[in-house]
Chains A and B, each alone.
Chain A
Amino acid sequence: MNHPKNEEWLRYIDGEVPAEERKQLFGHLQTCPDCADRVDAWRRSIGKLQGLSVMKRKEAAAPRKRAFQFGAGLKWSLAASILILIGFVVGRFSMPDEQALEAKVAARVREDARQQLRTDLMVALSPEAITQDSFQKQLRADLEKTSLVTAGGASWKQEVLDTVQTQRDQDRQQLLGLINHLRDLQVADSLALRQDLETAVLTADRDLRQNSSRINQLASTISATR
Protein backbone atom coordinates (compact mmCIF):
# COMPACT_ATOMS: atom_id res chain seq x y z
CA MET A 1 0.00 0.00 0.00
CA ASN A 2 1.20 3.50 -0.82
CA HIS A 3 1.17 5.43 2.46
CA PRO A 4 0.98 9.24 2.53
CA LYS A 5 4.06 11.03 3.89
CA ASN A 6 4.34 12.32 7.47
CA GLU A 7 4.16 15.93 6.26
CA GLU A 8 0.86 15.19 4.54
CA TRP A 9 -0.59 13.72 7.72
CA LEU A 10 0.59 16.77 9.60
CA ARG A 11 -1.23 19.11 7.23
CA TYR A 12 -4.27 16.82 7.44
CA ILE A 13 -4.30 17.04 11.24
CA ASP A 14 -3.78 20.80 11.14
CA GLY A 15 -6.70 21.07 8.69
CA GLU A 16 -4.57 22.65 6.03
CA VAL A 17 -5.34 20.38 3.07
CA PRO A 18 -7.80 21.12 0.26
CA ALA A 19 -11.13 19.30 0.33
CA GLU A 20 -10.23 16.81 -2.41
CA GLU A 21 -6.96 15.77 -0.75
CA ARG A 22 -8.67 15.58 2.59
CA LYS A 23 -11.18 13.15 1.18
CA GLN A 24 -8.41 10.93 -0.19
CA LEU A 25 -6.49 10.94 3.08
CA PHE A 26 -9.64 10.19 5.04
CA GLY A 27 -10.33 7.30 2.68
CA HIS A 28 -6.82 5.97 3.31
CA LEU A 29 -7.34 6.08 7.06
CA GLN A 30 -10.42 3.87 6.70
CA THR A 31 -8.42 1.16 5.03
CA CYS A 32 -4.98 1.41 6.68
CA PRO A 33 -4.83 0.61 10.43
CA ASP A 34 -1.11 1.57 10.60
CA CYS A 35 -1.75 5.10 9.39
CA ALA A 36 -4.91 5.34 11.49
CA ASP A 37 -2.92 4.37 14.61
CA ARG A 38 -0.24 6.85 13.72
CA VAL A 39 -2.70 9.72 13.27
CA ASP A 40 -4.45 8.83 16.53
CA ALA A 41 -1.14 8.72 18.41
CA TRP A 42 -0.14 12.07 16.92
CA ARG A 43 -3.44 13.63 17.89
CA ARG A 44 -3.05 12.33 21.41
CA SER A 45 0.48 13.73 21.65
CA ILE A 46 -0.65 17.08 20.29
CA GLY A 47 -3.39 17.20 22.92
CA LYS A 48 -0.87 16.51 25.69
CA LEU A 49 1.59 19.04 24.32
CA GLN A 50 -1.13 21.67 24.19
CA GLY A 51 -2.02 20.69 27.75
CA LEU A 52 1.49 21.73 28.79
CA SER A 53 0.80 25.30 27.76
CA VAL A 54 -2.40 25.53 29.76
CA MET A 55 -0.79 23.88 32.77
CA LYS A 56 -1.50 26.20 35.64
CA ARG A 57 1.39 28.09 37.15
CA LYS A 58 0.44 26.81 40.59
CA GLU A 59 0.75 23.22 39.47
CA ALA A 60 4.01 23.87 37.72
CA ALA A 61 5.42 25.66 40.75
CA ALA A 62 5.32 22.63 43.06
CA PRO A 63 8.42 20.82 41.76
CA ARG A 64 10.18 24.16 41.39
CA LYS A 65 10.39 25.08 45.08
CA ARG A 66 14.06 24.23 45.34
CA ALA A 67 14.78 26.15 42.19
CA PHE A 68 13.13 29.23 43.59
CA GLN A 69 15.46 29.28 46.57
CA PHE A 70 18.38 28.60 44.31
CA GLY A 71 17.41 31.28 41.84
CA ALA A 72 16.59 33.94 44.43
CA GLY A 73 20.14 35.32 44.48
CA LEU A 74 20.22 35.51 40.72
CA LYS A 75 16.84 37.25 40.70
CA TRP A 76 17.99 39.91 43.15
CA SER A 77 21.29 40.41 41.40
CA LEU A 78 19.43 40.83 38.13
CA ALA A 79 17.12 43.39 39.73
CA ALA A 80 20.13 45.22 41.15
CA SER A 81 21.89 45.23 37.81
CA ILE A 82 18.79 46.61 36.09
CA LEU A 83 18.61 49.36 38.73
CA ILE A 84 22.28 50.17 38.21
CA LEU A 85 21.68 50.23 34.48
CA ILE A 86 18.79 52.66 34.88
CA GLY A 87 20.90 54.81 37.21
CA PHE A 88 23.71 54.84 34.71
CA VAL A 89 21.39 55.85 31.87
CA VAL A 90 19.76 58.61 33.96
CA GLY A 91 23.14 59.83 35.16
CA ARG A 92 24.52 59.90 31.69
CA PHE A 93 21.68 62.00 30.34
CA SER A 94 21.54 64.39 33.29
CA MET A 95 25.31 65.02 33.26
CA PRO A 96 26.32 68.68 32.63
CA ASP A 97 28.34 69.66 29.57
CA GLU A 98 31.74 68.05 30.04
CA GLN A 99 33.81 70.77 28.36
CA ALA A 100 32.15 73.60 30.25
CA LEU A 101 32.74 71.77 33.52
CA GLU A 102 36.38 71.17 32.64
CA ALA A 103 36.94 74.83 31.76
CA LYS A 104 35.30 75.93 35.02
CA VAL A 105 37.46 73.61 37.10
CA ALA A 106 40.62 74.64 35.23
CA ALA A 107 39.89 78.33 35.80
CA ARG A 108 39.30 77.77 39.51
CA VAL A 109 42.47 75.71 39.90
CA ARG A 110 44.47 78.33 38.04
CA GLU A 111 43.09 81.09 40.26
CA ASP A 112 43.81 79.09 43.44
CA ALA A 113 47.37 78.38 42.30
CA ARG A 114 47.96 82.05 41.52
CA GLN A 115 46.66 83.07 44.94
CA GLN A 116 48.80 80.49 46.68
CA LEU A 117 51.90 81.59 44.77
CA ARG A 118 51.29 85.23 45.67
CA THR A 119 50.86 84.39 49.37
CA ASP A 120 54.04 82.33 49.39
CA LEU A 121 55.98 85.10 47.70
CA MET A 122 54.73 87.71 50.17
CA VAL A 123 55.71 85.54 53.13
CA ALA A 124 59.13 84.84 51.68
CA LEU A 125 59.81 88.50 50.96
CA SER A 126 58.51 89.91 54.26
CA PRO A 127 61.14 91.77 56.40
CA GLU A 128 60.55 89.37 59.32
CA ALA A 129 61.50 86.44 57.18
CA ILE A 130 64.68 88.13 56.09
CA THR A 131 65.83 89.26 59.55
CA GLN A 132 65.13 85.85 60.98
CA ASP A 133 67.17 84.20 58.30
CA SER A 134 69.36 81.67 60.03
CA PHE A 135 71.96 81.81 57.26
CA GLN A 136 73.63 84.90 58.69
CA LYS A 137 73.81 83.53 62.23
CA GLN A 138 75.22 80.26 60.97
CA LEU A 139 77.87 82.08 58.96
CA ARG A 140 78.85 84.19 61.92
CA ALA A 141 79.19 81.12 64.16
CA ASP A 142 81.24 79.29 61.57
CA LEU A 143 83.59 82.21 61.15
CA GLU A 144 84.04 82.59 64.88
CA LYS A 145 84.93 78.92 65.13
CA THR A 146 87.45 79.32 62.34
CA SER A 147 88.97 82.38 64.06
CA LEU A 148 89.72 80.30 67.15
CA VAL A 149 91.75 77.95 65.03
CA THR A 150 93.41 80.55 62.84
CA ALA A 151 95.72 82.83 64.76
CA GLY A 152 95.67 86.54 63.93
CA GLY A 153 92.67 86.14 61.69
CA ALA A 154 90.59 88.76 63.56
CA SER A 155 90.87 91.50 60.94
CA TRP A 156 90.14 89.08 58.10
CA LYS A 157 87.10 87.77 59.92
CA GLN A 158 85.77 91.28 60.47
CA GLU A 159 86.25 92.12 56.77
CA VAL A 160 84.32 89.09 55.60
CA LEU A 161 81.55 89.76 58.10
CA ASP A 162 81.29 93.37 56.99
CA THR A 163 81.14 92.39 53.32
CA VAL A 164 78.43 89.82 53.97
CA GLN A 165 76.54 92.30 56.10
CA THR A 166 76.70 94.91 53.36
CA GLN A 167 75.58 92.43 50.73
CA ARG A 168 72.68 91.33 52.89
CA ASP A 169 71.62 94.91 53.49
CA GLN A 170 71.66 95.62 49.76
CA ASP A 171 69.63 92.48 49.07
CA ARG A 172 67.14 93.46 51.72
CA GLN A 173 66.74 96.92 50.25
CA GLN A 174 66.13 95.47 46.80
CA LEU A 175 63.60 92.98 48.12
CA LEU A 176 61.78 95.67 50.07
CA GLY A 177 61.65 97.75 46.92
CA LEU A 178 60.18 94.79 45.04
CA ILE A 179 57.55 94.25 47.72
CA ASN A 180 56.58 97.91 47.68
CA HIS A 181 56.32 97.78 43.91
CA LEU A 182 54.06 94.70 44.10
CA ARG A 183 51.87 96.42 46.69
CA ASP A 184 51.63 99.50 44.54
CA LEU A 185 50.58 97.32 41.62
CA GLN A 186 47.95 95.63 43.73
CA VAL A 187 46.57 98.95 44.95
CA ALA A 188 46.49 100.24 41.38
CA ASP A 189 44.63 97.09 40.28
CA SER A 190 42.07 97.50 43.06
CA LEU A 191 41.55 101.14 42.20
CA ALA A 192 41.08 100.35 38.52
CA LEU A 193 38.61 97.60 39.39
CA ARG A 194 36.68 99.91 41.66
CA GLN A 195 36.59 102.60 38.99
CA ASP A 196 35.31 100.07 36.43
CA LEU A 197 32.63 98.89 38.80
CA GLU A 198 31.51 102.43 39.57
CA THR A 199 31.33 103.20 35.86
CA ALA A 200 29.26 100.05 35.27
CA VAL A 201 26.92 100.95 38.12
CA LEU A 202 26.50 104.48 36.87
CA THR A 203 25.81 103.29 33.33
CA ALA A 204 23.29 100.73 34.54
CA ASP A 205 21.61 103.36 36.71
CA ARG A 206 21.39 105.79 33.81
CA ASP A 207 19.93 103.10 31.52
CA LEU A 208 17.43 102.16 34.18
CA ARG A 209 16.31 105.76 34.57
CA GLN A 210 16.00 106.16 30.81
CA ASN A 211 13.97 102.98 30.51
CA SER A 212 11.62 103.92 33.32
CA SER A 213 11.05 107.36 31.82
CA ARG A 214 10.31 105.69 28.46
CA ILE A 215 7.85 103.35 30.09
CA ASN A 216 6.17 106.31 31.78
CA GLN A 217 5.96 108.13 28.46
CA LEU A 218 4.52 105.03 26.80
CA ALA A 219 1.97 104.63 29.55
CA SER A 220 0.87 108.25 29.35
CA THR A 221 0.60 107.99 25.53
CA ILE A 222 -1.57 104.89 25.83
CA SER A 223 -3.83 106.47 28.42
CA ALA A 224 -4.09 109.63 26.25
CA THR A 225 -5.14 107.62 23.19
CA ARG A 226 -7.79 105.83 25.26
Chain B
Amino acid sequence: MGKLSDLFSITDEQAMWRVQAQDDHAAFARLVQRWELPILRLCERMTGDQGEDLKQETFARAFLKRKEFRGGCKFSTWLWRIALNLCYDELRKRQRRGENCGGPESEDGIDLPESASPELAPDLQVAAREECEVVRCALLRLPLTLQTALGLRYCEGLKVREIAEILEIPETTAGSRIAAGLEQISRILGPQLDAIQERKEHKIRTANDV
Protein backbone atom coordinates (compact mmCIF):
# COMPACT_ATOMS: atom_id res chain seq x y z
CA MET B 1 0.00 0.00 0.00
CA GLY B 2 2.83 2.31 0.89
CA LYS B 3 4.45 1.71 -2.47
CA LEU B 4 1.19 2.33 -4.29
CA SER B 5 0.64 5.67 -2.58
CA ASP B 6 4.26 6.58 -3.32
CA LEU B 7 3.58 5.97 -6.97
CA PHE B 8 0.79 8.53 -7.05
CA SER B 9 2.32 11.11 -4.74
CA ILE B 10 4.41 13.88 -6.24
CA THR B 11 8.15 14.10 -5.64
CA ASP B 12 9.70 16.77 -3.45
CA GLU B 13 11.03 18.51 -6.52
CA GLN B 14 7.60 18.53 -8.21
CA ALA B 15 6.02 19.93 -5.06
CA MET B 16 8.72 22.59 -4.87
CA TRP B 17 8.14 23.49 -8.49
CA ARG B 18 4.46 24.10 -7.67
CA VAL B 19 5.46 26.22 -4.69
CA GLN B 20 7.76 28.24 -6.92
CA ALA B 21 5.40 28.65 -9.86
CA GLN B 22 2.03 29.08 -8.15
CA ASP B 23 2.85 29.80 -4.50
CA ASP B 24 1.01 26.56 -3.83
CA HIS B 25 0.62 26.47 -0.07
CA ALA B 26 -0.79 22.95 -0.07
CA ALA B 27 2.31 21.65 -1.85
CA PHE B 28 4.51 23.43 0.65
CA ALA B 29 2.52 21.99 3.54
CA ARG B 30 3.15 18.56 2.08
CA LEU B 31 6.89 19.22 1.99
CA VAL B 32 6.80 20.40 5.59
CA GLN B 33 4.94 17.25 6.57
CA ARG B 34 7.52 15.05 4.88
CA TRP B 35 10.63 16.76 6.21
CA GLU B 36 9.50 18.13 9.56
CA LEU B 37 10.84 15.29 11.68
CA PRO B 38 14.30 14.83 10.11
CA ILE B 39 14.88 18.59 10.22
CA LEU B 40 13.69 18.78 13.82
CA ARG B 41 16.05 15.93 14.75
CA LEU B 42 18.98 17.67 13.13
CA CYS B 43 18.24 21.01 14.82
CA GLU B 44 17.61 19.37 18.19
CA ARG B 45 20.77 17.33 17.96
CA MET B 46 22.90 20.32 17.06
CA THR B 47 21.34 22.97 19.30
CA GLY B 48 19.27 21.10 21.88
CA ASP B 49 16.51 23.35 23.20
CA GLN B 50 16.33 25.53 20.10
CA GLY B 51 15.41 22.61 17.84
CA GLU B 52 11.72 23.45 17.43
CA ASP B 53 12.34 27.14 16.73
CA LEU B 54 15.10 26.40 14.25
CA LYS B 55 12.94 23.84 12.48
CA GLN B 56 10.21 26.43 12.02
CA GLU B 57 12.73 28.98 10.87
CA THR B 58 14.13 26.49 8.37
CA PHE B 59 10.75 26.08 6.70
CA ALA B 60 9.96 29.78 6.89
CA ARG B 61 13.27 30.51 5.20
CA ALA B 62 12.72 27.77 2.62
CA PHE B 63 9.40 29.39 1.70
CA LEU B 64 10.88 32.87 1.54
CA LYS B 65 13.77 31.65 -0.60
CA ARG B 66 11.59 29.38 -2.76
CA LYS B 67 12.54 31.21 -5.95
CA GLU B 68 16.21 30.50 -5.26
CA PHE B 69 15.78 26.73 -5.41
CA ARG B 70 17.26 25.38 -8.62
CA GLY B 71 16.51 22.02 -10.18
CA GLY B 72 20.22 21.11 -10.14
CA CYS B 73 20.05 19.47 -6.72
CA LYS B 74 17.49 17.57 -4.71
CA PHE B 75 15.04 19.49 -2.55
CA SER B 76 16.27 17.62 0.51
CA THR B 77 19.88 18.65 -0.15
CA TRP B 78 18.79 22.29 -0.36
CA LEU B 79 16.67 22.00 2.80
CA TRP B 80 19.46 20.30 4.78
CA ARG B 81 21.75 23.15 3.81
CA ILE B 82 19.29 25.77 5.06
CA ALA B 83 18.81 23.94 8.35
CA LEU B 84 22.54 23.39 8.82
CA ASN B 85 23.32 27.03 8.16
CA LEU B 86 20.72 28.11 10.72
CA CYS B 87 22.21 25.68 13.26
CA TYR B 88 25.69 27.01 12.53
CA ASP B 89 24.45 30.57 13.07
CA GLU B 90 22.89 29.58 16.39
CA LEU B 91 26.07 27.80 17.51
CA ARG B 92 28.20 30.79 16.54
CA LYS B 93 25.89 33.03 18.59
CA ARG B 94 26.32 30.71 21.59
CA GLN B 95 30.05 30.63 21.10
CA ARG B 96 30.12 34.41 21.26
CA ARG B 97 28.07 34.28 24.45
CA GLY B 98 30.53 31.70 25.80
CA GLU B 99 28.00 28.91 26.29
CA ASN B 100 28.87 25.21 26.14
CA CYS B 101 26.71 22.42 24.79
CA GLY B 102 24.19 22.93 27.58
CA GLY B 103 24.06 19.26 28.37
CA PRO B 104 23.73 17.96 31.90
CA GLU B 105 27.43 17.45 32.34
CA SER B 106 28.86 17.39 35.85
CA GLU B 107 32.41 16.63 36.95
CA ASP B 108 32.29 13.01 35.99
CA GLY B 109 30.33 13.79 32.89
CA ILE B 110 26.94 12.54 34.07
CA ASP B 111 24.33 14.24 36.14
CA LEU B 112 21.94 11.89 37.84
CA PRO B 113 18.57 13.17 38.98
CA GLU B 114 18.54 13.41 42.77
CA SER B 115 15.01 12.12 43.13
CA ALA B 116 15.72 8.89 41.27
CA SER B 117 12.92 6.43 41.72
CA PRO B 118 13.87 2.98 43.14
CA GLU B 119 11.63 1.31 40.54
CA LEU B 120 13.46 -0.33 37.73
CA ALA B 121 11.61 0.77 34.61
CA PRO B 122 11.65 4.54 35.19
CA ASP B 123 15.29 4.21 36.17
CA LEU B 124 16.10 2.61 32.90
CA GLN B 125 14.19 5.34 31.14
CA VAL B 126 16.18 7.97 32.97
CA ALA B 127 19.39 6.14 32.09
CA ALA B 128 18.41 5.99 28.43
CA ARG B 129 17.68 9.70 28.42
CA GLU B 130 20.97 10.40 30.11
CA GLU B 131 22.75 8.31 27.57
CA CYS B 132 21.18 10.28 24.74
CA GLU B 133 22.20 13.53 26.38
CA VAL B 134 25.75 12.24 26.86
CA VAL B 135 25.98 11.21 23.21
CA ARG B 136 24.55 14.52 22.05
CA CYS B 137 27.01 16.45 24.19
CA ALA B 138 29.92 14.35 22.98
CA LEU B 139 28.88 15.07 19.42
CA LEU B 140 28.71 18.78 20.17
CA ARG B 141 32.25 18.71 21.51
CA LEU B 142 33.61 17.72 18.11
CA PRO B 143 34.78 20.31 15.60
CA LEU B 144 31.77 21.53 13.63
CA THR B 145 32.89 19.93 10.35
CA LEU B 146 33.19 16.47 11.92
CA GLN B 147 30.03 16.93 13.97
CA THR B 148 27.98 17.74 10.90
CA ALA B 149 29.33 14.90 8.79
CA LEU B 150 28.87 12.38 11.60
CA GLY B 151 25.37 13.55 12.44
CA LEU B 152 24.18 13.47 8.86
CA ARG B 153 25.66 10.01 8.35
CA TYR B 154 24.44 8.18 11.45
CA CYS B 155 21.66 10.28 12.97
CA GLU B 156 19.97 11.21 9.70
CA GLY B 157 21.08 8.08 7.85
CA LEU B 158 22.32 9.88 4.74
CA LYS B 159 24.78 8.30 2.35
CA VAL B 160 28.35 9.60 2.13
CA ARG B 161 27.62 10.78 -1.43
CA GLU B 162 24.59 12.79 -0.25
CA ILE B 163 26.57 14.35 2.60
CA ALA B 164 29.28 15.38 0.13
CA GLU B 165 26.61 17.02 -2.02
CA ILE B 166 25.00 18.90 0.88
CA LEU B 167 28.32 20.15 2.23
CA GLU B 168 29.66 20.76 -1.27
CA ILE B 169 32.84 18.79 -0.63
CA PRO B 170 34.43 15.78 -2.42
CA GLU B 171 33.14 12.37 -1.39
CA THR B 172 36.57 11.33 -0.11
CA THR B 173 36.66 14.38 2.18
CA ALA B 174 33.22 13.50 3.51
CA GLY B 175 34.46 9.95 4.22
CA SER B 176 37.57 11.25 5.99
CA ARG B 177 35.51 13.58 8.14
CA ILE B 178 33.16 10.78 9.19
CA ALA B 179 36.11 8.50 10.05
CA ALA B 180 37.87 11.26 12.00
CA GLY B 181 34.61 12.09 13.76
CA LEU B 182 34.07 8.47 14.75
CA GLU B 183 37.58 8.27 16.12
CA GLN B 184 37.19 11.41 18.22
CA ILE B 185 33.69 10.73 19.53
CA SER B 186 34.64 7.18 20.48
CA ARG B 187 37.45 8.54 22.65
CA ILE B 188 35.05 10.92 24.40
CA LEU B 189 32.15 8.49 24.67
CA GLY B 190 34.02 5.35 25.69
CA PRO B 191 34.60 6.15 29.37
CA GLN B 192 31.23 7.90 29.78
CA LEU B 193 29.24 5.03 28.33
CA ASP B 194 31.17 2.63 30.51
CA ALA B 195 30.24 4.66 33.58
CA ILE B 196 26.55 4.73 32.62
CA GLN B 197 26.62 1.00 32.02
CA GLU B 198 28.21 0.40 35.40
CA ARG B 199 25.58 2.51 37.14
CA LYS B 200 22.79 0.76 35.29
CA GLU B 201 24.07 -2.63 36.34
CA HIS B 202 24.49 -1.44 39.90
CA LYS B 203 20.87 -0.24 40.00
CA ILE B 204 19.61 -3.53 38.60
CA ARG B 205 21.57 -5.39 41.25
CA THR B 206 20.20 -3.14 44.02
CA ALA B 207 16.63 -3.53 42.75
CA ASN B 208 17.03 -7.32 42.67
CA ASP B 209 18.41 -7.33 46.22
CA VAL B 210 15.45 -5.28 47.46
Binding site for A on B (CB under 8 A): 23, 25, 41, 44-45, 48-53, 56-57, 60, 63-64, 104, 125, 128-129, 131-133, 135-136, 139, 150-151, 154-157, 160, 172, 175-176, 178-180, 182-183, 185-187, 189-190, 193
Range class of the A interface residue count: 35 or more
| SS of B interface (majority) | helix
Main secondary structure of the interface of A (DSSP, over half): helix
11 pairs, CB–CB < 8 Å, chain A vs chain B: A10-B182, A45-B182, A49-B155, A50-B154, A50-B157, A52-B135, A53-B41, A67-B49, A71-B53, A75-B52, A75-B53
Closest chain A CB from B17 CB (angstroms): 17
The answer to whether B44 and A60 have CB atoms under 8 Å apart is: yes
What 1/0 flags go to A69-109 for Cβ under 8 Å of B? 01100110010011001100100000000000000000000
5 smallest A-B Cβ distances: which pairs?
Answer: A67-B49, A6-B179, A49-B154, A41-B186, A10-B179
The listed residue with most A CB atoms (<10 A of its CB), out of B49, B128, B139, B151, is B49
Q: Once the chains bind, are A48 and B135 in contact (CB under 8 Å)?
A: yes
Chain B residues contacting A60 (CB-CB under 8 Å) are: 44, 132
Query: Contact between B182 and A51 (Cβ–Cβ < 8 Å)?
Result: no
CA distance A41 to B57 in the complex (A): 36
CA distance A7 to B172 in the complex (A): 9
A156 at the interface (CB under 8 A from B): no
Q: Is the CB of A46 within 8 A of B129?
A: no
Q: How far is the CA of A153 from the CA of B66 in the complex (A)?
A: 94
Whether the Cβ atoms of A62 and B129 lie closer than 8 Å is yes
Least Cβ distance of A67 to chain B in Å? 3
Shortest Cβ distance from B104 into chain A, in angstroms? 7
